[in-house]
Amino acid sequence: MQCVILAAGRGTRMMELTSSVPKPMLDVAGKPLLEYKLAALPEEVDEVVIVVGYLKDVVQKHFGATRAGKRITYVEQKNLDGTAGALWSAQTVLKDRFIVMMGDDIYAKEDIARCIAPYSGWRLLVQEITEMHRSGSVEVGEDGLISRIVEGDRSKDKGIASTNLYTLDMRLFTAPLIPKQEGSLEYGLPQTVVAASKTLGIPFEPVFTDKWVQVTSPKDLVHAAEMLKRMKF
């Protein structure tokens, strides 16, 4: 099984911290953020596809061609046209069923294992949080499946947040890319997956966790280090 890690962006909210390294390579407790993602991957994953862009050489030099027995393939996202655009840039090297995750957030090994358990549909790891802020808000229908993901909510209300960790398959690429917002030049993966699941009739299941660590600003790096100690990485 393959895992796609989207690591092409700089991470402008990190300010000067990303002037010499891309956001996924920022240090947390002595290791780059990307190291924790590879360490959390189950044995079923034998290839990691890293989508690079900003300062791509830093990522490639650090990880090389293999890591912990897993083959590493690099794909460059030359046009930074959103998260769906990033995944589409890796389309030619993908096959069958695969995981997609962000290059900066922290995920627990047991959650990834639950997401890749046998299932005919797609999955998204989600977490209930007290304040949505910048998180994508996940709406679940009466059938228990994901019906909508709203980004840019910025509300202080509690809700179900998308962690942006997906289990998908090649059927996704038969569906059209959907802009992040009306008129946007970026294609959003949440919008594209939700629309595709409805068009193709593929169930889109939420998998709940309480171990996701979102990293969007410098202060989150401190929180991430504390959480990683609890998760025993």
CATH for 177: 3.90.550.10
* Phi, psi (degrees; rounded to nearest 5) at 63: -95, -25
DSSP 31: E
The helix/strand count (H/E) of the chain reads as 6, 12
What pLDDT does residue 8 have? 85
What pLDDT does residue 53 have? 85
pTM above 0.85, yes or no: yes
What pLDDT does residue 21 have? 73
pLDDT along the chain (233 residues), means of 10: 89 58 82 89 95 89 89 92 94 96 90 95 95 82 95 74 96 96 89 97 97 76 68 61
Domain of residue 176, residue span: 2-231
Q: Note whether 32 and 55 are within 8 A (CB).
A: no
Overall domain count for the chain: 1
What pLDDT does residue 30 have? 84
177 contact partners, CB below 8 Å, separation of at least 6:
84, 85, 88, 187, 192
How far is Cα 197 from Cα 146, in angstroms, rounded to an integer?
Answer: 9
What pLDDT does residue 123 have? 98
Tokens of 141: 């229908």
